[in-house]
Amino acid sequence: MECLHGVYEMFPGMSPRELRRALKRLGIQVNELEDVREVHIVLSDKKIVIEKPQVLEMKSGGQSIFQIIGTPRVEEIEESIEISEEDIEFVMSQTGASKEEAREALIKAKGDLAEAILYLKEKSGR
């Protein structure tokens, strides 16, 4: 069953029948996706989760536009960074830092060797 409730809200003053005809003239098909449990939007530093959303798909010209209606929940993303022993030893050799300091600097720099070295050199005043 086609549900255009969310689309109607975008065009106030237009009856459902008028809207359906207008969209058809524009070559836009609107369908509600059934049984959607969750929608996840993943950004670089967080994830937006919408549980039990109403999702409408509008198709036109081989492309789709999705309208998602629901209450979002924001989750922070914990970035796991693998730091190799070689990188730790290299940072230690360039800065004179301890193994733990080198590891912490690499984690803070998200694995970027140059940034970790600069951070430690600035920290120690070298």
What are the tens digits of pLDDT across the range 110-126? 899 999 999 999 887 75
The whole-number pLDDT of residue 6 equals 67
Burial 73-96 (b: 16+ CB within 10 A, else e): eeeeeeeeeebeeebbebbbebbe
pTM: 0.56
CA–CA gap between residue 6 and residue 65 (Å, rounded) = 13
Show the tokens assigned to 106.
Answer: 């690499």
Establish how many alpha carbons lie within 13 A of residue 125's alpha carbon, considering only the half-sphere containing its beta carbon: 0
Full set of structural domains in the chain with CATH: 5-76 (2.20.70.30), 85-124 (1.10.8)
Q: What is the pLDDT of residues 20-76, one digit of tens each?
A: 888 889 999 988 999 999 999 999 889 999 999 999 999 999 999 999 999 999 998
Which neighbouring-strand residues pair with 41? Answer: 48
Question: Cα separation of 87 and 99, whole Å?
Answer: 10
Contact 117, 94 (CB under 8 A): yes
Average pLDDT over residues 12-26: 85
